[in-house]
Amino acid sequence: MAKKFSRSRVGDVRGGQLVHTYGVGSIIDLPNISAMMMGLDSWGTADWDPNSARTAIPEERLLRLVRSHLGGQVERLCGAPIPEGGNDVIRDPYNPVGAPIAPFPRWVRCPRCDLLAPLDFGVFELKTNPYQPDRARYVHANCPRWSNAPAVIPARFVFACEHGHLSDFPWHAYIRHANTECRGPLRLSERGVSTEAADLWLTCDGCNQQKPMAQAFGRNANLPPCPGQHPHLGPKYQAPCTAEKSKAMLAGASNLWFPLSISALSLPADVNELPNLLEEHWPVLQEVEDLGGLKLLRKIGQLQPFSRWTDEELWEALGEKNSGSTEEEEPLTLWKIKVDEWEMFSNPAESPSTKDFRLTEVGSPKGYESLFSRVVLVERLRIVKALIGFTRIGSPGDFGDATEMPKIRRAPLGRSLPKWVPASEVRGEGIFLQIDNGALEAWLKEPSVQTRVEELLEAHYEFRRARNITPAKDDFEAGRFGLLHTLSHALIRQFAIECGYSAASIEERIYAADSSHEDGPMTGILLFTAAADSEGTLGGLVALGDPEVLGRHLDQALERARLCSSDPLCSEHEPVPDGRTLHGAACHACTFVSETSCERGNKYLDRSFLVETISSACTPFFGGRSGD
């Protein structure tokens, strides 16, 4: 049954969703089936080879960063599984090519007779339609209460722990049969007007034992220890688990899967055009072994971008790049990735342009000249994201960098060390704003600002202690980052009103470091949008960077930040060191944005950093100095 399912096409997702929405280990809710995306060991078919150079996404800086997390054996970043034959092959229902999935949870319930059993119980059949994959479903073939074989539904409950393990809910262990030899059959019935856990009862036909499902979520649930399963690595995979406690969860819970993804902007590799072209086409060119191979590629029309160079010149350039790639790579961090980006954005006149990167500096808005030292229009931008793992229950957003996440809490992408990781590339546009470092440091010296920053720092330290992040006291610059982060959110919400993009499609990138840092000072924000389709390159966001237009939006964003519909409660909120919250005057009504937009999970936000609020606790950076 499982073998048949693995050859059946049951739905479609976009390529980018394999990195941030439906990646390895996540649960996909199809119309009639709940399924799990399988590990990388299960990927690859006769029509799609993840180890082929044709499937690789070139981005050397991101690949080096991935290797620093997963090991030097990672050879490439791989795009979505699309057959080399083109889209016509995808439309062939009898030749499905895509990411492999398997049914999960394996326990299902018949809505007619309430039978609760695993799919291999012997009474469920898979029904598929090759021309309508969304109609794939399991049916209860011999249901005693319905002659038309009703479609069964997945069980709503699963069993998970913070170490990334996930398994079917321990139904037999939970009901505690009156007879220890009893194994059902079990039924899950509704005994109330709602479908909440309080109205669901688990009963056993064999020993007449029954128990309400509400007790599975109480403090005295008395559930067994975590079995250490990773269903995305196969139904028989099991490893010892040292988690202190496992918990019952709903299969659709938002904290059941968090992607551990990293991204990098594609920056020009050199001021000269040829090295940049080599980088772009490297997945194919790196397979060339001699000059004859180049001549063959030229003959079949694969070297059109290199028409200005002879085969001999191109071969010499390949040799130089190959000699450089064989040298031992220095460890690369997310911080270094950002430093490279900062150097480009803060020196737009010296930054080369390519088809995926183009900067244009414009003047600062009137009235803000003393606060903004540079405004740069990012007319072309390419962003590559890669999935390096995932977590359950605990969000990676609680950590400043993926390196801070304990390895025991990261679930692997496969049984063996991966030689490739799923990735996606999108193109778009953006605006880079550089705050004047002198003005920012003068503001940070204000006594009221220092008091507020100390409160935020104490909350930051307690937050790290509560999550066993070491060291608890780091060198985080709460004031500098908090100001930049709050301004970024205020502009995201404001830009979305006029630029044509939704607020959820605009992302931020914060560059913060003081003068004492070896890579500082950095005081800037990049707001960008990118998509695989036209919504990354409409030009609406870049148009807002015009000095006059940007000044108007800054005025409006700051004015909207002065008053929140949740005031005075919002403005009175303080960064209390309780280990749970990490923000001041901020909430969903005024400052928070979607998780896809925010770099730090809506933390380190405070409207009082920007403007005077009802209960201002510090001198605002823009107080009395806006362009009004």
Model pLDDT for residues 285-334, shown as the tens digit of each residue: 776 777 777 777 777 777 777 777 777 777 777 777 666 554 456 678 88
Token pair of 274, please?
A: 């040829």
Beta bridge partners of 344: none
Torsion over CA: 363, 367, 370, 371 (sign): negative
Assess contact for 110 and 148: CB atoms under 8 A: no
Instruction: Fill in the DSSP letter of residue 570.
Output: H
Q: What pLDDT does residue 134 have?
A: 79
Higher pLDDT, 10 or 367: 367
Q: 13-17, 157-161, 235-239, 274-278: which range is least confident on average?
A: 274-278
The CA distance from 608 to 605, in Å, is 9
Assess contact for 58 and 281: CB atoms under 8 A: yes
The CA distance from 415 to 410, in Å, is 13
> What three-state secondary structure class fits 63?
helix
Q: Which residues of 207-228 are buried (b: 16+ CB within 10 A; e: fewer)?
A: bebeeebebbeeeeeebeebbb
Q: What pLDDT does residue 533 have?
A: 54
Average pLDDT over residues 560-585: 90
Q: What pLDDT does residue 91 have?
A: 47
Instruction: Fill in the DSSP letter of residue 605.
Output: -
> What three-state secondary structure class fits 576?
coil
Please check the confidence at residue 628 and state whether its pLDDT lies above 80: no
User: Is the backbone peptide bond immediately before 521 cis, with ω within 30 degrees of 0?
Assistant: yes
Q: Which amino acid is at 233?
A: L
Assess contact for 433 and 426: CB atoms under 8 A: no
Token pair of 402, please?
A: 């993926």
Please check the confidence at residue 188 and state whether its pLDDT lies above 80: yes
pTM of the model: 0.84
The CA distance from 267 to 357, in Å, is 7
Assess contact for 39 and 47: CB atoms under 8 A: no
User: Is the backbone peptide bond immediately before 100 cis, with ω within 30 degrees of 0?
Assistant: no
Give the Å distances, CA to CA, from 626 to 164, 492, 557, 585, 608. Answer: 48, 18, 11, 20, 15
Model pLDDT for residues 49-94, shown as the tens digit of each residue: 787 767 888 888 899 899 988 998 998 899 888 755 544 444 455 5
pLDDT band of residue 378 (cuts 50, 70, 90) is very high
> What three-state secondary structure class fits 539?
coil
The CA distance from 230 to 411, in Å, is 8
Instruction: Fill in the DSSP letter of residue 530.
Output: E
pLDDT band of residue 344 (cuts 50, 70, 90) is very high
Assess contact for 421 and 388: CB atoms under 8 A: yes
Q: What pLDDT does residue 351 have?
A: 85
Assess contact for 110 and 152: CB atoms under 8 A: yes
Q: What pLDDT does residue 254 have?
A: 87
Nearest to 127 by CA among 137, 114, 117: 137
The CA distance from 283 to 77, in Å, is 10
The CA distance from 421 to 62, in Å, is 11
The CA distance from 390 to 465, in Å, is 22
**Mean per-residue pLDDT of the chain:** 84
Model pLDDT for residues 599-626, shown as the tens digit of each residue: 888 999 999 999 999 988 789 999 855 4
- Give the helix/strand (H/E) hosting 323: helix 311-325
Higher pLDDT, 443 or 175: 443
Q: What pLDDT does residue 623 have?
A: 81
Higher pLDDT, 442 or 468: 442
Q: What pLDDT does residue 483 have?
A: 96
φ and ψ of 164, to 5 deg: 90, 0
Nearest to 19 by CA among 251, 234, 258: 258
Q: What pLDDT does residue 88 have?
A: 42
Assess contact for 134 and 11: CB atoms under 8 A: yes
The CA distance from 163 to 247, in Å, is 12
Model pLDDT for residues 227-248, shown as the tens digit of each residue: 999 999 988 888 888 887 888 9
Higher pLDDT, 492 or 497: 492
The CA distance from 345 to 524, in Å, is 9
Contacts of 525 by beta carbon, 8 Å cutoff, 6+ apart = 432, 433, 435, 484, 487, 488, 491, 508, 509, 510, 511
Average pLDDT over residues 253-278: 80
Model pLDDT for residues 112-133, shown as the tens digit of each residue: 999 999 998 888 988 887 778 7
The CA-based angle 62-64-67, given to 5 degrees, is 110
Model pLDDT for residues 382-408, shown as the tens digit of each residue: 999 999 999 998 888 777 777 677 888
Model pLDDT for residues 499-553, shown as the tens digit of each residue: 878 888 899 999 999 988 888 899 999 999 876 654 456 668 899 999 999 999 9
pLDDT band of residue 97 (cuts 50, 70, 90) is low
Instruction: Fill in the DSSP letter of residue 232.
Output: G
Assess contact for 40 and 51: CB atoms under 8 A: no
Q: What pLDDT does residue 90 have?
A: 43
**CA dihedral of residues 225, 470, 71, 243 (deg, nearest 10):** 0
The CA distance from 30 to 136, in Å, is 9
Please check the confidence at residue 2 and state whether its pLDDT lies above 60: no
Model pLDDT for residues 124-169, shown as the tens digit of each residue: 988 887 778 778 889 998 888 888 889 999 998 999 998 999 999 9
Q: What pLDDT does residue 417 have?
A: 92
